Structure 1
Amino acid sequence: MKQLITLSKKLLQSEGILYLIFGGLTTLVYMVTRLLLSAFAIDAGLSATIANIISVLFAFITNDTIVFRQERKGWLYRLGKFVLARLATALIDIALAYLLVTRYPNLIGQFVNNDYHLVNLIEMLFSQVLIILLNYVFSKVFVFKNTAN
Structure 2
Amino acid sequence: MKKLIKAFFDNEILSYLFFGVVTTVVYLVTRLTLFSISKESLLATAVANIIAVLFAFLTNDVFVFKQARAGWFSRLVKFGAARLLTFCFDIGMTFLFIKQFPHIIGQFVDNDAAAIDFIESLIAQVSIIVLNYILSKLFVFKNHPQKTK
TM-score of the superposed pair, with normalisation by structure 1:
0.67
Of residues 106, 109, 128, the one that matches 1:109 is 106
**Contact 1:30-1:52 within 8 A present in 2 as well:** no
Of residues 50, 53, 59, the one that matches 1:52 is 50
Equivalence for 1:66: 63
What whole-Å deviation, never above 9, does each CA across 1:113-132 have from its counterpart, x for those lacking one?
A: 33333222211111122222
Q: What amino acid is aligned across from residue 122 of structure 1 in structure 2?
A: I
**Contact 2:28-2:121 within 8 A present in 1 as well:** no
2:121 is the alignment partner of 1:121: no
1:31 CA drift (Å): 6.7
Cα RMSD (Å): 3.3
Higher Rg of the two aligned structures = 1
C-alpha separation in 2, matches of 1:27 and 1:135: 16
C-alpha separation in 1, matches of 2:109 and 2:62: 43
Secondary structure of the structure 2 residue equivalent to 1:119:
helix
C-alpha separation in 2, matches of 1:77 and 1:26: 24
Equivalences for 1:1-149 in 2 at 5 Å? 4-23=1-20, 24=22, 28=26, 52=50, 56-148=53-145
C-alpha separation in 2, matches of 1:110 and 1:31: 24
C-alpha separation in 2, matches of 1:112 and 1:143: 39
**Contact 2:8-2:14 within 8 A present in 1 as well:** yes
**Contact 1:100-1:107 within 8 A present in 2 as well:** yes
How many residue pairs get aligned? The number is 132
C-alpha separation in 1, matches of 2:125 and 2:82: 15
Unaligned 5+ segments in structure 2 are 34-42
C-alpha separation in 2, matches of 1:112 and 1:90: 26
Q: Percent identity?
A: 46
TM-score of the superposed pair, with normalisation by structure 2:
0.67
**Contact 1:26-1:58 within 8 A present in 2 as well:** no
Is the alpha carbon distance of 1:117 and 1:58 closer, same or farther for their aligned partners in structure 2, counting shifts above 3 Å? Answer: closer
C-alpha separation in 1, matches of 2:97 and 2:143: 37
**Contact 1:101-1:119 within 8 A present in 2 as well:** yes
Is the alpha carbon distance of 1:15 and 1:98 closer, same or farther for their aligned partners in structure 2, counting shifts above 3 Å? Answer: same
Higher relative CO (CA 8 A, sep ≥ 6), structure 1 or 2? Answer: 2
